[in-house]
């Protein structure tokens, strides 16, 4: 994750919080000369992600705030474990607090959710992938969190891989035509994947020379048959409605990758708090 991707998010979040008049509470009750030390503490067990993003929030308000991560992204932490420390002028710390915790909590929640899926299939060699179902404006952060949780990143956007879905196939006049057109347009270095939701669509895709086939919303028996038909000629990816309860059964069909939108669009935040210490 590049901090250049995080900075605009931090600045927008701070501007949203401060409005046109700033932090009226801190300005009213906290002396301008007051200083403080605080600890960022996990209030539930999970996997940490977003420590640099949180630090950038404090730095954006006042470079005089000293922020020290005490763990690394991808670390598992227990309830009550301190993950970072902050020290400096009290008002800027209070101004940045919510933005820092929002980013850290969301990213750690995504990392924790991803780690639960990865752990469920870790002995089967199946990769857990994210999708483009990310929070608008937060994709780089969400995908960094997925990687911190042990998952793999799918394409970042519409620009770095070709994924041909049913509407593309219909508009192009068939899967073969769609793949041929894609190969002419993007060259050999960009991944080309084709989505199918029925086994009778798979035969045509196998002859296209695509790199990957997305097996969308198929039952377990269909997935097993699809893996057999593919026979290692391309990467197989299962997608559509996979949950923590079903992910292992899906992995046992032999697919190479399982993409899970839930880990970015619905993962609960990890509860992380900031408390001042004397």
Query: Annotated catalytic sites, by residue?
Result: 98, 133, 165, 195, 216
C-alpha atoms less than 13 angstroms from C-alpha of 101 in its C-beta half-sphere? 20
* 8-state DSSP, 152: B
Give rounded-to-5 percent helix, strand, coil for the chain. 45, 20, 35
Three-class SS state of 163: strand
C-alpha span between 234 and 182 (Å, rounded) = 17
C-alpha span between 168 and 120 (Å, rounded) = 34
The token pair at 128 is: 């857990």
Three-class SS state of 211: coil
How many C-beta neighbours within 10 Å does residue 122 have?
A: 13
C-alpha span between 70 and 40 (Å, rounded) = 9
Q: Where are the beta strands (DSSP E) in 126-231?
A: 127-129, 162-164, 192-196, 212-216
């Amino acid at each position: 994750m590049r901090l250049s991707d995080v900075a605009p998010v931090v600045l927008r979040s701070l501007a949203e919080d401060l409005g046109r008049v700033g932090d009226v509470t801190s300005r009213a009750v906290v002396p301008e000369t007051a200083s403080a030390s605080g600890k960022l503490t996990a209030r539930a067990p999970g996997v940490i992600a977003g420590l640099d993003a949180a630090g950038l929030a404090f730095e954006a308000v006042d470079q005089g705030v000293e922020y020290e991560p005490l763990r690394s992204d991808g670390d598992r932490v227990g309830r009550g474990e301190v993950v970072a420390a902050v020290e400096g002028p009290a008002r800027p710390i209070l101004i940045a607090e919510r933005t820092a915790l929002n980013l850290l909590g969301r990213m750690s929640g995504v990392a924790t959710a991803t780690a639960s899926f990865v752990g469920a299939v870790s002995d089967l060699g199946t990769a857990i992938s994210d999708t483009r179902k990310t929070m608008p404006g937060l994709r780089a952060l969400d995908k960094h969190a997925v990687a911190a949780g042990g998952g793999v990143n799918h394409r970042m956007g519409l620009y770095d891989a070709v994924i041909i879905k049913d509407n593309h196939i219909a508009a192009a006049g068939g899967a073969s035509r769609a793949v041929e057109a894609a190969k002419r347009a993007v060259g050999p270095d960009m991944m080309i994947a084709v989505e199918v939701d029925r086994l009778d669509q798979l035969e045509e895709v196998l002859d296209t020379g695509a790199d990957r086939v997305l097996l969308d919303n198929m039952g377990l028996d269909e997935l097993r048959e699809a893996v057999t038909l593919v026979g290692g000629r391309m990467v197989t990816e299962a997608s559509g409605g996979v949950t923590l309860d079903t992910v292992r059964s899906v992995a046992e069909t032999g697919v190479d990758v399982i993409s899970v939108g839930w880990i970015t669009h619905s993962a609960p935040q990890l509860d992380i708090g900031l408390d001042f210490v004397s």
